A and B are shown apart, each in its own frame.
Chain A
Amino acid sequence: MSGFLYGVVLQWKLDIRSKSLLVTCYIVPLIFFLLMGGIFTSVMPEMRSTLIQSMIVMSVSMGAFIGLPPSLVETYASDIKKVYKANGVPLYLGLATMFLSAFIHLMLTCIVILLLAPVLFEAALPIHFAGFFPALAIYIMVSLSIGSILGLIVKNQAKLTMIAQLVFLPSIMLSGIMFPADLLPDFLENVGRIFPASWGYRLMLDHGFQFENLWYFILVFCAAVIACGMLLKKQKAK
């Protein structure tokens, strides 16, 4: 097994051992899904058609903005980075392995939601799985790339908690997963469109996998890759 592959598998195990990631990627999103799934579908039965997408948006936002960045800060704002550098391990390894590991964890959570929602709440399954899964993968990747920037740019955990909430809360409140976004004032609706949650929600809906919902992800992902590259370069130069 190559060093990189071993790093990804190891990081996946470390994430499972870390209780904080277990909480943000599995426990809280799944409890939220069980509670809100019951409430939503009994108060507004029409939400059954979008319950899976809504719960996935909530889970991915939590895992990407609240789960991933603290692990990155633990590595890049500490002596771990120096140990990597001193012992011939490239600096990008931490970011790449944590990104891929979080991607797998979030994908698993989303699959659990996808499997349980129809059984527990009679939620409608996506009609076109061929469009749904690429949409889900793209949405997770872009959300994680924003989480990666947060984890590389913020140097302390207390500040990070605050900033992560500033990204997470509007993602949830303004994306249209709790209530239709067109009920919001124009200003707040536009603010909601800054975050990937509202785009991800639309992209995963039936017939949503189209360029008009995709361009945002392409743009944000490219910008995030460049930003992460520059931040890693800065770390290396230090």
Chain B
Amino acid sequence: MSNAIQVRGLKKNYGSHGVLKGLDLQIKAGEIFALLGVNGAGKTTALECMEGLRKYDSGMVAVNGKMGIQLQSASLSAHIKPMEAVKLFAKWNKAKPDYGMLDALSIKEMEKKQYFQLSTGQKRRLHLALALISDPDIIFLDEPTAGLDVEGRLSLHEQIRKLKSRGKTIVLASHDMAEVETLCDRIAILNDGNIVFCGTASELTDKVGKKYFIHIKTQQGNNTFETDNIEDTLLSLLGELKRKGAHVLDIKVDRGTLEQHFIEMARRAEE
């Protein structure tokens, strides 16, 4: 698979503070790639450097395709109506609005409202529609579901999956680990301007350690146990519960959430 974006040795300083300290990344065409990091880790700066909206001090960014950008903090004129914004941006990009996409994002439903009357979710959908106007190959989404309710979030996830199925490359920055886990093919974790991990979620799990989480529900309540050896631990736990006469209602085994692994990676990076 060819690279949609290639970043090498990207450095960016704000005054004496280094925000990006030599970033190296390859984002493959057609994948959903997430940039994760705590606040101030440099996610937005890294995205803006890739998008060409921010100058960087040194390094190289190569983007192979047309870009569509949905910004984290975006706004439009208070009195503009969604379809007017769509037409304006379409004319400047010499593109015809894709009415299928606009329907999917429910832009027509809000056509009588002015921008200041739209809800956060409607504004997000409108900005995504504007980012998609020129039928870009690579779509940047900075915190796309921040401030959205569950329904809005699910609807946006659906749109992102559709875009991937059409062969688009999607790069997103997010705080929402569950979102990243469900949507993304690969993730990169940024910490203090460096990439401390880049790979799939299961590779992250392997890197963090082969920990299993055993959740046991009994009449006395819920308990979670961590282990590296699932067979021995599970057998010994069940034996102990039987001896105590506890009645087991449910057992679940998982390998931890991306959030837990992210926290672990961040902790290791701090050390």
Tell me if A3 and B92 are in contact (CB < 8 A).
yes
Least distance between A236 CB and chain B CB atoms (Å): 11
Interface residue from B73, B75, B79, B89 paired with A87 (Cβ < 8 Å)? B89
Tell me if A3 and B77 are in contact (CB < 8 A).
no
Tell me if A83 and B93 are in contact (CB < 8 A).
no
Question: B177 within 8 Å of A by Cβ?
Answer: no
Interface residue from A6, A17, A87 paired with B93 (Cβ < 8 Å)? A87
- Given the known interface contacts A10-B80, A78-B75, the answer about A83 and B130 at a Cβ–Cβ threshold of 8 Å is yes
Question: A7 within 8 Å of B by Cβ?
Answer: yes
Residues of the B chain whose Cβ atoms lie less than 8 Å from the Cβ of A1: 91
Least distance between B48 CB and chain A CB atoms (Å): 9
- Given the known interface contacts A74-B78, A78-B75, A86-B53, the answer about A10 and B130 at a Cβ–Cβ threshold of 8 Å is no
Tell me if A83 and B53 are in contact (CB < 8 A).
no
Residues of the A chain whose Cβ atoms lie less than 8 Å from the Cβ of B75: 78-80, 83
Interface residue from A78, A82, A89 paired with B89 (Cβ < 8 Å)? A89
Question: A18 within 8 Å of B by Cβ?
Answer: yes
Interface residue from B73, B80, B131 paired with A14 (Cβ < 8 Å)? B80
Interface string of B85-110 (1 = CB under 8 A from A): 00111011100000000000000000
Tell me if A79 and B92 are in contact (CB < 8 A).
no
Residues of the B chain whose Cβ atoms lie less than 8 Å from the Cβ of A75: 77
Least distance between B131 CB and chain A CB atoms (Å): 7
Interface string of A1-44 (1 = CB under 8 A from B): 11100110010011001100000000000000000000000000
Residue of B nearest to A18 (CB): B79
Residues of the B chain whose Cβ atoms lie less than 8 Å from the Cβ of A207: none
Interface residue from B51, B79, B88 paired with A86 (Cβ < 8 Å)? B51
Least distance between B87 CB and chain A CB atoms (Å): 7
- CB contacts under 8 Å to A, within B212-270, are none
Interface string of B47-89 (1 = CB under 8 A from A): 0000101000000000000001101011111111000100111
- Given the known interface contacts A17-B79, A18-B79, the answer about A88 and B127 at a Cβ–Cβ threshold of 8 Å is no
Interface residue from A10, A79, A87, A90 paired with B133 (Cβ < 8 Å)? A87
Question: A85 within 8 Å of B by Cβ?
Answer: yes
Q: For the complex, what is the distance from the CA of A3 to the CA of B68, rounded to whole Å?
A: 19
Interface string of A67-109 (1 = CB under 8 A from B): 0000000110011101101111110010000000000000000
Interface string of B156-167 (1 = CB under 8 A from A): 000000000000
Question: B134 within 8 Å of A by Cβ?
Answer: yes
A interface SS class: helix
Residues of the B chain whose Cβ atoms lie less than 8 Å from the Cβ of A7: 88
Question: B114 within 8 Å of A by Cβ?
Answer: yes
Q: For the complex, what is the distance from the CA of A1 to the CA of B91, rounded to whole Å?
A: 8
Interface residue from A13, A74, A83 paired with B127 (Cβ < 8 Å)? A83
Tell me if B71 and A88 are in contact (CB < 8 A).
no
Residue of B nearest to A93 (CB): B92
Q: For the complex, what is the distance from the CA of A79 to the CA of B127, rounded to whole Å?
A: 12
Tell me if B73 and A88 are in contact (CB < 8 A).
no
Residue of A nearest to B70 (CB): A86
Residues of the B chain whose Cβ atoms lie less than 8 Å from the Cβ of A14: 77, 79-80
Residues of the B chain whose Cβ atoms lie less than 8 Å from the Cβ of A78: 75
Tell me if A79 and B73 are in contact (CB < 8 A).
yes
Give 24 pairs: A residue, B residue, CB < 8 Å, sorted on A: A2-B91, A3-B88, A3-B91, A6-B87, A6-B88, A10-B80, A10-B88, A13-B84, A14-B77, A17-B114, A18-B78, A18-B79, A74-B77, A75-B77, A79-B74, A83-B74, A83-B75, A83-B127, A83-B130, A86-B69, A86-B74, A86-B131, A87-B131, A88-B93
Q: Interface of A with B (CB < 8 Å)?
A: 1-3, 6-7, 10, 13-14, 17-18, 74-75, 78-80, 82-83, 85-90, 93
Q: Which 10 A-B pairs have the closest CB atoms?
A: A3-B91, A86-B69, A17-B79, A79-B75, A3-B92, A14-B79, A89-B92, A83-B74, A79-B73, A88-B93
Q: Add 17 more A-B contacts to A10-B80, A80-B76, A87-B130 (CB < 8 A).
A: A3-B88, A3-B92, A6-B91, A10-B84, A18-B78, A74-B78, A75-B77, A79-B71, A79-B73, A82-B53, A83-B76, A83-B127, A86-B51, A86-B69, A87-B92, A87-B131, A88-B89
